[in-house]
Chain A
Amino acid sequence: MTLDLAGVVTAYPGFRLGPIDLSVGTEVLAVLGPSGCGKTTLLWTIAGLRRPNAGSITLDGRALDGCPPEVRRTGLVFQDGALFPHLTARENVAYAGANPARVDELAATFEIADVLDRRPGTLSGGERQRVAIARTLATDPDVLLLDEPLSSLDAPIRRRLRRELHDLLGSLGIPTVLVTHDQRTAAALGDRLAVLRGGRVEQVGPTETVLERPRNEFVARFTGTENVFEAEVRARTDGTVTLGVGDATLTAVAERPVGAVVSACVHPSRVRLDATVQSNEDATDPRADGNVLAGTVGGWLNEGDGYRVEVAVDGAPLSLLATVPPPQFDPRAMAAGTAVRVSIPPADVHLLGEPAADG
């Protein structure tokens, strides 16, 4: 089963989505982008709720263009569930005519058996979303579309449902498109990842590829690689380049001509900080391979699951963010103004604009 979008354009006053070319096989395509980038319009176009101005949508070669939503067999789970408030959870799941046995089976899968006789207004956000997913799957859709399925949920419920969706979506065996503005959800659920901005696909590819080798600054920043900086190629050896930023130099695994000005990026989790006072050979990351810079802590922020430390690299107009897991964080060593050693493995310095492996 393959869902294909070819040159799809959906425009309305003030906004234009596309042209979009995407192919979704029996997999989960996560579409990641900021608010207003066209994520929902993309889903509505596939579902037939919006008529595209151009292009074609096919499912296994069968053209869906012009088909009304009710005959497309595309299931859409709406952001807030869109449950019918005048019907019980059971009546919602059975809305499309599923037999009672199938409803009970879905209720067991989604652990909603004990709330089946309640109205949506009395359900929690997590329960509503489970009922909504069960209702959509009760129609045995050929394509599953999910619009921000976790965004309205509290963090613990979101984490739990994310885990469950991961297992569920993998077992469905139909093309699935999930749109979200949350890179964690996209990374956790997407086999492939498409980053959308202003109605255009900025990059699409296997999730790991897009996360680790972003094509441009927008993709890098939006997927969490917040350290993006300009550097000059000062030397080149086989397979590596030496980048200069002010007085600081960094080695990166890449091919670029000497003298070229490039945009480089490093994910904050790959930046390692060590207090210089306690420094010894063991403290140096062996993979850093010479990428060791002197820096000064600018400040830090506790984000709950980790600390974000801002470090100014000495002698260079370069400020880096590093994430430090709580057990390794020492507030005394990371006080503002403290000198630290910054280590970055060359393989983790990515140059933007490199052709990605997947189109």
Chain B
Amino acid sequence: MATTNRRRLTGRVRLDWLTVALLLGGLLLVYYLAPLVSLFLAVPPGAVLARLGDPAVVGAATTSVLAAAISTVLATALGLPLAYWLARTGTRWKPVVLAAVVLPLVLPPTVGGVVLLTVVGPNTVVGRAAVAAGLPLTRSLAGVVLAQTFVASPFVVVTARAAFEAVDPTLEHASRLLGTTRWATVRRVTLPLAAPGILAGVTLAFARAMGEFGATMMLAYYPRTMPVQIWVSFVSLGLRAAYPIAVLLVVIAVVALVVLNTVASNPWG
């Protein structure tokens, strides 16, 4: 109140805490949006459309969307049971398991790629067996999926765990006392109530998988995903050649966000 009065009297803007907070937050927002706007201004729509027919771009887009979709399905199918267990367990090993889940998030993606190569690389037991079976785990779509799942699945586990924890266990007790089995209870009560949070995690995982670059470079330089294609274009032809694919990737990411947010009816709220 005193500040407002003084401002009126002197006519000068005084830096109260609210103004500072707005300035800081606004600066960050501008930092997010300005490069995106600048990218779209730098590329004429015609150039993007022209590159859409380029087989390299089509191939990269197909690989990216297909692999990210498979990775997201895998991350969800494998991640939800772990997330539920983490939400409900009372074991003292919980922090250790949580640390293991979060590890791929804090690991630099290239290191993640190196780590994966020690297990599924062409000279490992697993890698050789996979090649013999006709399903090589490097330089293949499977390699892309492995890399993406490694870095993206923690988003499903961490977010879904928070969503499961927010479901009152009393509701599960109530369901079971109404004659419903544990599994049916999860299906009829827990999953519907946790759905918005789970979908938020799935969205994040899909977006992360679409953008995966570091681990993918190590495991599967071919078939090229869009981030790899951007890098190749940038290195061989220069920055301007990378713009149209970058625009395409931004559009796909935004569309994915919008679609999943609509389905999830505001999972962020």
Q: What size tier do the contact residues of chain A reach?
A: 20 to 34
* Cβ B181 vs Cβ A82 within 8 A: no
Q: How far is the CB of A72 from chain B (nearest CB, A)?
A: 8
Q: Is A84 positioned at the interface, with any CB of B under 8 Å from its CB?
A: yes
Q: How far is the CB of A102 from chain B (nearest CB, A)?
A: 14
Enumerate chain A residues within 8 angstroms of B53, measured Cβ to Cβ. Answer: none
Q: Which of B168, B177, B179, B181 lies at the interface centre, i.e. has the most chain A CB atoms within 10 A of its CB? A: B177
Enumerate chain B residues within 8 angstroms of A71, measured Cβ to Cβ. Answer: 179
* Cβ A68 vs Cβ B175 within 8 A: no
* Cβ B179 vs Cβ A78 within 8 A: no
Enumerate chain A residues within 8 angstroms of B173, measured Cβ to Cβ. Answer: 44, 47, 49, 69, 76, 78, 82
* Cβ B170 vs Cβ A70 within 8 A: no
* Cβ A86 vs Cβ B177 within 8 A: no
Q: How far is the CB of B175 from chain A (nearest CB, A)?
A: 7
Expressed in whole angstroms, the Cα–Cα distance for A78 and B177 within the complex equals 11
Closest to A138 in B: B178
Interface string of B175-197 (1 = CB under 8 A from A): 11111111000001100110000
* Cβ B193 vs Cβ A86 within 8 A: yes
Interface string of A41-78 (1 = CB under 8 A from B): 00010010100000000000000000011111111101
* Cβ A84 vs Cβ B175 within 8 A: yes
Q: How far is the CB of A186 from chain B (nearest CB, A)?
A: 23
Enumerate chain A residues within 8 angstroms of B180, measured Cβ to Cβ. Answer: 70, 95-96
Since A68-B181, A85-B171 are in contact, a sample of 4 more A-B pairs with Cβ atoms closer than 8 Å, ordered by chain A residue number, is A82-B173, A86-B193, A95-B175, A139-B178
Expressed in whole angstroms, the Cα–Cα distance for A243 and B178 within the complex equals 56
The answer to whether residues A47 and B193 also contact, given A82-B168, A82-B171, A84-B171 and a CB cut-off of 8 A, is no
Some 12 contacts from A to B, beta carbons below 8 A apart, are A47-B173, A49-B173, A49-B176, A49-B177, A70-B179, A70-B182, A76-B173, A78-B174, A82-B168, A84-B171, A84-B174, A136-B177
> In the complex, how many residues of chain B place their beta carbon closer than 8 angstroms to a beta carbon of chain A?
17
* Cβ B193 vs Cβ A135 within 8 A: no
Enumerate chain B residues within 8 angstroms of A86, measured Cβ to Cβ. Answer: 189, 192-193
Enumerate chain B residues within 8 angstroms of A69, measured Cβ to Cβ. Answer: 173, 176-177
Closest to A85 in B: B193
Which residues in window 135-172 of A have CB below 8 A to B? 135-136, 139
Expressed in whole angstroms, the Cα–Cα distance for A96 and B174 within the complex equals 11
Interface string of B185-227 (1 = CB under 8 A from A): 0001100110000000000000000000000000000000000
Expressed in whole angstroms, the Cα–Cα distance for A122 and B176 within the complex equals 24
Interface string of B72-94 (1 = CB under 8 A from A): 00000000000000000000000
Expressed in whole angstroms, the Cα–Cα distance for A69 and B175 within the complex equals 10
Expressed in whole angstroms, the Cα–Cα distance for A72 and B181 within the complex equals 12
Enumerate chain A residues within 8 angstroms of B168, measured Cβ to Cβ. Answer: 82
Enumerate chain B residues within 8 angstroms of A84, measured Cβ to Cβ. Answer: 171, 174-175, 189, 193
The answer to whether residues A135 and B177 also contact, given A82-B168, A84-B171, A86-B193 and a CB cut-off of 8 A, is no
* Cβ B170 vs Cβ A96 within 8 A: no
Q: How far is the CB of A144 from chain B (nearest CB, A)?
A: 11
* Cβ A76 vs Cβ B192 within 8 A: no
Q: How far is the CB of A59 from chain B (nearest CB, A)?
A: 15
Expressed in whole angstroms, the Cα–Cα distance for A95 and B193 within the complex equals 15
The answer to whether residues A70 and B193 also contact, given A78-B170, A82-B168, A82-B170 and a CB cut-off of 8 A, is no
Expressed in whole angstroms, the Cα–Cα distance for A77 and B246 within the complex equals 57
Closest to B167 in A: A85
Enumerate chain A residues within 8 angstroms of B175, measured Cβ to Cβ. Answer: 84, 95
The answer to whether residues A68 and B178 also contact, given A82-B168, A82-B170, A84-B171 and a CB cut-off of 8 A, is no
